Amino acid sequence: MQYDRASRLSHYNHRLQTAAELGRSIDALRLCSDMKRQNIRPDIETYNCLILTLAKAGVHQEAWAAYNDMKLLNISPNRETFNSLILACRNLPTYALFYTLGLMDIHHIQPDATTYGHIISHYTLGKNLEVGLQYLAVMNIENVVPSLKTADHVIFLCADFGNARLAVDLAESFENNSVRRLNGELWAKVLHSCTMAFYVEGMEICWNRLVNDMGVTPDEGLCIGVLHTAARFGRPELAANALQQLEALGAEIREWHMEPLLEAFAANGQVKEAFKALELLRTAGMEIRSDMTSPITTIIQRDPDAVDTAWTVLDELRSEGENVDIIAVNVVIEAAVYLNDMGRAIGTYKSLADMQVVPNAETYNLLLEGCVRSKHRDLGIKLLMEMKEKEIKPTVETYTQLIRLCLTQVTYEDAFFYLEEMKGLGLQPTYSIYDSLVRKLVETGDTRYRLAVEELEQMGYKVTPRLRDFINSGGESSVDTTHEETKPMQES
């Protein structure tokens, strides 16, 4: 008879365990009711299964009622009992959690990984990362390895709060001390956090784990985030990998995708590779804008030796049979002009024929800017003549530099000539042209400044307060707004 009762108890406990695994609280209560009708005395396993089922369902009052019923039968709770009760308290105020922990202490039961997991889950659900981390530290002190779920909760919250460095450290620490591995979704979350925080070292760790080890292809937004952060910190290999993943996603690689790769090469000091990438863009039929080369220019304009090195690189590329793009040559010229080294700038320009490269309007605009800096009017006029001989159409920037160059001279009448020539070609003068012209006229006491102001307004521009102050002061204002720009006024 006793064997039969034990057999039936084991049968019901097994069914209760199944109900607990599936989270079916109604089934569990029905089974307990059947046991009571059949006068089958429950044991600790019975109550543990019941409390766990109720805890999963989030009905904390019923879970505690089962605990009290167990105590009435003089059945002593164990760690599993209290773990389930802590789980039941996950949505309650913190005092309920501490009350349960106090009961554990009274019964001399030490927390385990599951206990700490439920405690940490309680705090992470409430977005209380600090306390969650404190309990994680306690686990480390007590040599208790957190469960995969616990690690996931804390790391996810770290990444969500923008604590990228901490998220990476925790992820690495967990995988180094556990045979289990974090999932790709979590690594992607941490990777995104690293890109937002510009934490490039962590980004490399996450990328290697997610893409290289797990074979996961990040989404397009994440790839672009990685691409731009890699560019910022000079990681061309990572930038190239991000581009490969974008291609794998079926994204069309355009100029704005390749631009960060150029920046990455430049930031890493790989000028030759950056120039090669420029030619790659050209052969792929992509438009190369002058602003795309600014990272390369920034690198080589640091000193004259860097300019010489860049020119040597271009010469090497030509010797290797590579095509040299005029955009690349313009980078060298721009850097030389920035360094006020017109000798190098003109020398580079004169070597274009040997490089089998044809100059464009940007080439002459850069050289004219150098002439403005050095106040070398004759050289500027000569460059303009060569530009016209090559049938290269002057741009608004060309005339802007020409007029500025004329205004650097004592005799500046040709500034008016080029202004009229510009308008005759259908090119609208910019505000900066009129600003420079008016300032020169006011400084020299030339009353034609009134005509210049009148024409400025006819063009739809508005005289800025600074320019007005300059005029009223008779040219005594020390504020330089040569490059100050305004938009044409809208007609009412």
pLDDT at 317 over 70: yes
Q: What percent of the chain has pLDDT over 90?
A: 73
pLDDT of res. 209 = 96
For every residue of 61-84, DSSP letters joined together read HHHHHHHHHHHHTTPPP-HHHHHH
Residue 242 near residue 227, CB atoms below 8 Å: yes
Residue 409 CB contacts under 8 Å (≥ 6 apart), including other chains? 375, 377
pLDDT at 230 over 70: yes
Q: How far apart are CA 278 and CA 14, in angstroms?
A: 70
Query: Binning pLDDT at 50, 70 and 90, where does residue 234 land?
Result: very high
pLDDT tens-place string over residues 370-422: 999 999 999 999 999 999 999 999 999 999 999 999 999 999 999 999 999 99
Q: How far apart are CA 50 and CA 43, in angstroms?
A: 11
pLDDT of res. 177 = 87
pLDDT of res. 219 = 94
For every residue of 307-341, DSSP letters joined together read HHHHHHHHHHHHHTT----HHHHHHHHHHHHHTT-
pLDDT at 2 over 80: no
pLDDT of res. 90 = 87
Q: How far apart are CA 157 and CA 294, in angstroms?
A: 38
Q: How far apart are CA 48 and CA 36, in angstroms?
A: 16
pLDDT tens-place string over residues 252-292: 888 888 889 999 999 998 999 998 888 888 777 788 787 88
Q: How far apart are CA 165 and CA 193, in angstroms?
A: 9
Residue 381 near residue 358, CB atoms below 8 Å: no
pLDDT of res. 4 = 66
Residue 253 exposed, middle or buried by CB count within 10 Å (0-12, 13-18, 19+): middle
Which residue, chain included where needed, has tokens 């406990």?
13
Q: How far apart are CA 193 and CA 158, in angstroms?
A: 9
Mean pLDDT, the chain, integer: 91
Q: How far apart are CA 235 and CA 199, in angstroms?
A: 12
Query: Binning pLDDT at 50, 70 and 90, where does residue 490 land?
Result: very low
Residue type, 1: M
**Cβ-based neighbour number of residue 27 at 10 Å:** 16
For every residue of 198-232, DSSP letters joined together read T-HHHHHHHHIIIIIIT-----HHHHHHHHHHHHH
Query: Binning pLDDT at 50, 70 and 90, where does residue 491 land?
Result: very low
**Average pLDDT of span 237-244:** 94
Return left, alpha or beta for 485; rule: phi > 0 is left, psi -120 to 50 is alpha, else beta.
Answer: beta
pLDDT of res. 206 = 97
**Average pLDDT of span 225-239:** 95
Cα angle vertex 181, ends 178, 187, to 5°? 130
Q: How far apart are CA 444 and CA 406, in angstroms?
A: 14
**Average pLDDT of span 88-95:** 90
pLDDT at 366 over 50: yes
16 or 401, which is more confident?
Answer: 401
Residue type, 386: E
Query: Binning pLDDT at 50, 70 and 90, where does residue 489 land?
Result: very low
Residue 378 near residue 411, CB atoms below 8 Å: no
Q: How far apart are CA 89 and CA 102, in angstroms?
A: 14
181: enclosing H helix or E strand: none
pLDDT tens-place string over residues 412-454: 999 999 999 999 999 999 999 999 999 999 999 999 999 999 9
Residue type, 142: E
Q: How far apart are CA 251 and CA 244, in angstroms?
A: 10
Query: Binning pLDDT at 50, 70 and 90, where does residue 3 land?
Result: very low
Q: How far apart are CA 41 and CA 459, in angstroms?
A: 98
pLDDT at 86 over 90: yes
pLDDT of res. 12 = 86
pLDDT of res. 408 = 95
- Please name which of 271, 348, 340, 278 lies closest in space to residue 306, comparing C-alpha atoms: 271
Compute the radius of gyration of the chain from its Cα atoms: 37
pLDDT of res. 486 = 54
